[in-house]
Chain A
Amino acid sequence: MSLFQIFDVSGSAMTAQSLRLNTTASNLANAESVAGNPRAAYKARHPIFASLMNEFGATGDEDESAVGVRVLGIVESSAPALVRYQPDHPMADAKGNVYVSNVNSIEEMTNMIAASRSFQSNVEIINTSRDLLLKTITMGARG
C-alpha cells in the first residue's frame, strides 16, 4: 500500500534535509573561525544525498516507486582557507597570518532556504497522505 510508504519516504527526506540544515548551521557558526595554520582551519561541510531503492518493501509488496533518501556521507570543502594578515592576533603564525574558514556565507544561506523549503513540502505530503488515509478508513460510514 503506497499511501503508508509515503510516511517512510517523506520521513527519510525530512531526516536528510534536517541533516543538511545541521551542516549549514555548523558552517555558518564557524564562518569566522580562525586557526594558526591552513590545515587546522575549519572547512565547510556538505552532505551528499543518494536515493534509497526498495528499502521499504520489506512487507512483501515491493514497489519500485518507494524511493527514499539517504545521506551517503558528509564531505569537507576543498577550497583553500582564507589567509588574513593580522600580526597582533594571538594565533598568528611567524609571518603574521591567520587562516579563516573557507565557508561561503551566501552559498550557506541559499542552502538553508532550499533545505527549509524541501522540508516543508515533505511535511505537506505527509499531511495530505494522512488525510487521505483517515478518509479511507471511514469508507462507508453514514453521514
Chain B
Amino acid sequence: MRVSPDIFGNHELGLMVRARRAGVLAANLANADTPNYKARDLDFSSALEASGAISDLTLATTNSAHLGGADRAQPGGDLKYRIPFQPSLDGNTVETPIEMAAFSENAVRYQASLMFINRTINAIETALTGQ
C-alpha cells in the first residue's frame, strides 16, 4: 500500500486557519472596551475552498531592482467585519458572549484537527513497527 503525500487531509490547513481565527477572536475580546473598534472574523468554509490559492499570490518582478513583495496572504483569506446584534454608542461592535462562544468552539475544533493528525501519526507508526 502506498501512503498518500497528504495523509493529514485538510487538518494541516485546518490547524493553521483555526490558529489564525483564535488570534482574530482574541483581538476582538482584547478590544471589547475600545471605542470604534469593529469586531472581525474569518469564514472557515470559504477559507477551505480558497486553500489552494494561499501562497500563489506574489508580485511579478521584471527588473532586478524590483522588490519581490512579501507574500502577505494569510491562511483563511481576508477578514470580514461582524454585523453586531446590538451596536453600542461608542461605535464598538464587539459582543463579548458571542466572541467567547466562537473562541471556545474554535478551540475545540482545533483540538479535533490535532487529534486526527495524532491518530494518523500513531497509525503510521503502528504500521511501521508491525506490532
Q: A residues bordering B, Cβ < 8 Å?
A: 1-3, 5-6, 9-10, 12-13, 16-17, 20, 48-51, 62-69, 114-115, 117-118, 121-122, 124-125, 128-129, 131-132, 135-136, 139-142
Contacts and interface: CB of A to CB of B under 8 A. Distances in A.
Interface string B20-32: 1111111101111
A1 to B, nearest CB: 7
Contacts of B21: 2
A9 B24 CA distance: 10
What interface size band does chain B fall in? Answer: 35 or more
Contacts of B74: 63, 65
B7 interface: no
Given A62-B72, A69-B31, A3 B79 contact: no
Interface in B37-78: 37, 40, 72, 74
Contact of A64 (B79, B104, B107, B125): B79
A124 B25 CA distance: 12
9 residue pairs, one from A and one from B, having the closest CB atoms? A2-B23, A13-B30, A67-B27, A65-B24, A140-B121, A6-B26, A49-B34, A2-B20, A2-B19
Contacts of A131: 107
Given A50-B35, A69-B33, A142-B125, 15 more contacts: A2-B24, A5-B23, A13-B31, A20-B33, A48-B35, A50-B34, A51-B34, A68-B27, A117-B96, A118-B29, A122-B29, A125-B25, A128-B22, A128-B107, A135-B114
B111 interface: yes
A51 B97 CA distance: 20
A50 B35 CA distance: 7
12 contacts: A2-B21, A5-B23, A9-B30, A63-B20, A65-B79, A66-B27, A67-B37, A118-B33, A118-B96, A125-B103, A128-B107, A142-B122
| Most A C-beta atoms less than 10 A away, residue of B15, B21, B31, B114 | B31
